[in-house]
């Protein structure tokens, strides 16, 4: 009897970000651009199944699939060992798009790589001003700003498992951002959430080029329009968040002192931000250097 043939690998493209940074926007945009790039684009697009078509790589059901154990019974080291196997499974067995959402840092987790580079072709990292990220997390979790700020600056932070998701190594905001963006390389495309919101057509055209999605200008315009409709239907305003409505100057200063190096690298350490936090640029960068993640050469 001949052995069954292994299913071919469809290399994975990761949509990565720190939580509340805009990865869902990008994931939805990819979904729409792929749909509009088809020879006969659908007249109606149902995005309710997007979590299955472009899944999160920490979903417990994938870990049960590759380990044979209930995800809730897996220890953190077992989860770390299984991550590359989950990526192998998603690249060869998953029926959705070969696109995966993640909030994990690029690096190692209990000695195991957080990403299986043997079955991936790169990805897009979405970065957002950490002041806005903090304000969004306060709104989403109901936690006090101090608690959110503390979590965002905790190095090597792991997010605990829940009934649906396994433990995930997210690190601090600066660790997460630096792990994907500090060493710029062609395989990783970087999008600032603020730029995506300001000019979605321009940013999505660049994203389509990086992913080699053959969407026409007309299809791209349709995707942009559908994306705007989707967010409006979900009650999400297109306007920029004003972190000052949630964060006091002392909160902003704490974030700057923890993340100023990466904020400066991505254009977020503006005069307006520094004035609100009542700190000058030089002092901010000196203080932030203490918390800056070490970047491997």
Q: How confident is the model at residue 27 (pLDDT cuts 50, 70, 90)?
A: very high
Q: Is the pLDDT of residue 237 over 60?
A: no
* Phi (first) and psi of residue 175, to 5 degrees: -60, -45
Residues above pLDDT 70, as percent of the chain: 94
Which residues pair with residue 247 across a beta bridge? none
* Class of residue 56 by CB neighbours under 10 A (exposed 0-12, middle 13-18, buried 19+): middle
Residues above pLDDT 90, as percent of the chain: 86
Rounded Cα distance, 233 and 210, in Å = 29
For 180-206, what is the mean pLDDT? 96
For 66-94, what is the mean pLDDT? 96
**Orientation angle between helical segments 130-141 and 145-152, nearest 10 degrees:** 130
3-state secondary structure of 13: strand
* Overall size of the chain counted in residues: 297
Which residues pair with residue 101 across a beta bridge? 15, 56
Q: How confident is the model at residue 232 (pLDDT cuts 50, 70, 90)?
A: confident
Q: Could you tell me where the DSSP H helices lie in the chain?
A: 23-36, 50-53, 60-67, 76-92, 130-141, 145-152, 173-181, 193-198, 200-211, 217-233, 249-265, 271-277, 281-289
Name the token pair of 82: 């299984």
Question: pLDDT for 139-186, tens place per residue?
Answer: 999 999 999 999 999 999 999 999 999 999 999 999 999 999 999 899
Q: Is the pLDDT of residue 1 over 50?
A: no
For 258-273, what is the mean pLDDT? 97
Which residues pair with residue 124 across a beta bridge? 15, 189
Residue 231 has what pLDDT?
Answer: 74
List, in order, residues 6 or more apart from 218 with CB less than 8 Å away.
none
Residue 3 has what pLDDT?
Answer: 35
Residue 235 has what pLDDT?
Answer: 61
List, in order, residues 6 or more apart from 7 with CB less than 8 Å away.
92, 93
Question: pLDDT for 266-294, tens place per residue?
Answer: 999 999 999 999 999 999 999 999 888 87
Q: Is the pLDDT of residue 187 over 60?
A: yes
Residue 126 has what pLDDT?
Answer: 98
3-state secondary structure of 161: coil
Residue 8 has what pLDDT?
Answer: 87
Fold of 12-134+156-241: Rossmann fold (3.40.50)
Residue 269 has what pLDDT?
Answer: 98
Q: Is the pLDDT of residue 199 over 70?
A: yes
Q: Is the pLDDT of residue 133 over 70?
A: yes
Q: Is the pLDDT of residue 295 over 80?
A: no
Name the token pair of 73: 């019974």
3-state secondary structure of 14: strand
Most confident of 45-49, 136-140, 225-229: 136-140
By DSSP bridging, strand 168-169 and strand 158-159 are antiparallel
* Phi (first) and psi of residue 205, to 5 degrees: -65, -40
């Amino acid at each position: 009897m001949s052995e069954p043939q292994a299913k071919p690998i469809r290399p994975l493209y990761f949509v990565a970000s720190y939580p509340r940074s805009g990865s869902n926007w990008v994931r939805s945009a990819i979904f729409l651009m792929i749909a509009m790039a088809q020879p006969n684009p659908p007249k109606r697009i149902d995005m309710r199944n997007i979590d299955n078509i472009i899944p999160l790589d920490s979903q417990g059901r994938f870990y049960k699939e590759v380990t044979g154990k209930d995800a809730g019974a897996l220890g953190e080291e077992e989860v770390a060992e299984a991550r590359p196997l989950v990526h192998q499974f998603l690249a060869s067995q998953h029926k959705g798009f070969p696109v995966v959402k993640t909030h994990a840092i690029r690096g190692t987790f209990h000695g195991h790589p957080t990403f299986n580079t043997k079955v991936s072709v790169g990805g897009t990292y979405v970065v957002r001003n950490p002041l806005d990220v903090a304000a969004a997390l306060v709104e989403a979790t109901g936690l006090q700003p101090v608690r959110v700020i503390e979590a965002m600056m905790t190095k090597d932070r792991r997010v605990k498992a829940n009934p649906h998701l396994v433990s995930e190594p997210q690190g601090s905001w600066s660790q997460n951002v630096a792990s994907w963006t500090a060493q710029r390389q062609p395989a990783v495309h970087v999008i600032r959430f603020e730029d995506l919101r300001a000019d979605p057509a321009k940013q999505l055209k660049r994203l389509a080029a990086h992913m080699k999605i053959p969407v026409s200008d007309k299809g791209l315009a349709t995707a942009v329009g559908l994306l705007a409709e989707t967010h409006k239907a979900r009650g999400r305003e297109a306007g920029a968040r004003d972190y000052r409505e949630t964060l006091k100057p002392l909160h902003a200063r704490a974030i700057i002192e923890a993340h100023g190096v990466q904020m400066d690298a991505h254009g977020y350490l503006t005069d307006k931000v520094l004035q609100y936090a009542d700190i000058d640029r030089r002092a901010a960068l000196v203080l932030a250097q203490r918390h800056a993640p070490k970047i491997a050469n």
